[in-house]
Structures are given as structure tokens and as C-alpha cells.
Amino acid sequence: MLSNVQRNRNYEIGATSAIFKQKIYKNRWMYLLHTAADVIHHKKTKCISLCNNAGTVVHRDCTGYMSTTCKPCPPGTFMSQPNGLHRCFTCKNCAKSQGLYIQSKCTTIKDTVCDVLDGYYCIDYSDSQCRRAQIHRVCRPGQETKTPGTKASDTECVDCAHGFYSPSGLNCTKWRDCAARNEILKECGSPVKDVTCEQKPKERNGLVDLILTTLEDFYRFLLGSESQ
């Protein structure tokens, strides 16, 4: 038969277990149903079935003459504190398709801890953990990164100002200055393309032009003399 000390200990843990159940049963009706079953069992047996150690759940309920029999959680499940439950909880899955990876593996006493993959940011955060993440935005050509993405926020992009271009969407670069290069503009730039420059036409020297003109005139004179 259970001693008074054991009964008192069961009641103390029972109060803690009730709070725990209320947290873990997100469905209020499931919590009420489980609590009602505990009350009925207590009225019949004058005891509360509890497992004092984390990592275990109830295998056989207590009776007025026998204490609760507990069993360990099987692989892939856990129980994080003393409880009166009959089934362990399934370990969380950190799916790569959800932008997550395993930061800390699941054990019989604690759930898996997930974290956000590099290049992703969390879009569904609850119970102090990220449940789902999304890949960072990639800035379009003609834009640059204003604020790099983090695990908590997406990348911010901004359009290139006039006179700048970005072919890959990373950084905006100023258009080439043709005049500074002693060249002339061949093709205008755009938000995604640089200006195209070309060399200026070469200017002929004045003295050379005079000599060439004189030679041309002399050549014409000779041609005219021969024809007479």
C-alpha cells in the first residue's frame, strides 16, 4: 500500500504535471479529456499515476496497493519532465526543405533544437524556435543590396540611382566617364549596363595638311602640263 509520504509526493508532482499537460496539449478539449480521466482514476484508486523522471511515461497506472510503473521513451521520442502521460512526444523534424537544420539532436529528455540554414530567414517563430524559414531574396539587375539578409530578416534591395548600373544585382557602380578618359560617348548607359566610350578621331597636323595640299596641287599641275 502507498505510504502517506508517497501520496503527498504524488499530489505535488500531480500539480506540476497538470500545468505541464496544459502547456503541451494545444487542443483544449484534449487537455480536459485527459484531466477528466485522471480525476476518475483518482476517485477509484485514491492515487495519481505519475512518473517522477524525465524521459519516462506511465506503463501501468497506480492502484490503492501498487505504485505507478513507468517505462522509458523509445528512440525518436522524448519527455522533458515528470508527468502522468502514457505516451512520449515525437521528436521534432528539422527539415532542410523548410530551411532548417539540426542544431541539437533529440534525446529521451529533450526535443530536437532546430536552427535556420545559412541564406535563409525565419518566417514562422513559436515556442522560442523557428518552425519554418525561407530563402533570402536575390536583388535584380539594376538593384543593389541595401541590407544583407539575416536569420531573422530578409535581404533589402534598392534601385540604382541615375548614373549607376548593376548587371548582377549586387552593387551599383558609377558609369564610366568618357571625357576623363579623353574619349567620346558611343552608347549611353542604363541601370544594368555601363556607358560605352570610343576614341576621338585623330586630328591632322596643320603643317602636314599644308604639305599634302601643296603636293596635290603640284600633281594636278603636272597632269595638266602633260595633257597639253
- The pLDDT tens digits of the residues spanning 62-108 come to 887 888 999 999 999 999 999 999 999 999 999 999 999 999 999 99
DSSP H helices, the chain, are 4-24, 28-45, 206-227
Residues 142 and 170: beta-carbon distance below 8 Å: no
Residues 36 and 30: beta-carbon distance below 8 Å: no
Crossing angle between the packed helical segments 28-45 and 4-24, to the nearest 10 degrees: 170
Q: In angstroms, rounded to a whole number, what is the distance separating the alpha carbons of residues 76 and 180? A: 69
Q: What CATH architecture is 4-90?
A: Ribbon (2.10)
Cell reading at 8: 503527498
Q: In angstroms, rounded to a whole number, what is the distance separating the alpha carbons of residues 165 and 173? A: 5
Q: In angstroms, rounded to a whole number, what is the distance separating the alpha carbons of residues 84 and 88? A: 11
Residue 45, pLDDT above cutoff 70: no
Local structure of 179: helix, strand or coil: helix
What stretch(es) of the chain map to CATH 2.10.50.10? 4-90, 96-135, 143-199
Q: Which long-range contacts (CB under 8 A, 24 or more apart) does 116-121 make?
A: 116/151, 119/149, 120/151, 121/149, 121/150, 121/151, 121/152, 121/153, 121/154
Residue 34, pLDDT above cutoff 70: no
- The CATH classification number of 143-199 equals 2.10.50.10
Residues 60 and 68: beta-carbon distance below 8 Å: yes
Which of these ranges, 1-10, 106-115, 127-136, 211-220, has the smallest mean pLDDT?
1-10
At residue 43, the pLDDT reads: 53
CATH assignment of 96-135, among 3.40.50.2300, 3.30.470.10, 2.10.50.10, 2.60.130.10:
2.10.50.10
Q: In angstroms, rounded to a whole number, what is the distance separating the alpha carbons of residues 133 and 103? A: 15
Per residue in 147-190, pLDDT tens? 999 999 999 999 999 999 999 999 999 999 999 888 889 999 99
- What residue type is 169 in one-letter code? G
Residue 213, pLDDT above cutoff 50: yes
At residue 222, the pLDDT reads: 66
**Mean pLDDT calculated for residue range 39-49:** 62
More confident residue, 212 or 196: 196
Cell reading at 198: 570610343
At residue 114, the pLDDT reads: 95
Percent of the chain topping pLDDT 90:
55
Reported as type and span, the H/E element at residue 144 is: strand 143-147
Q: Per mean pLDDT, which of 32-41, 140-149, 177-186, 203-212 is the most reliable?
A: 140-149
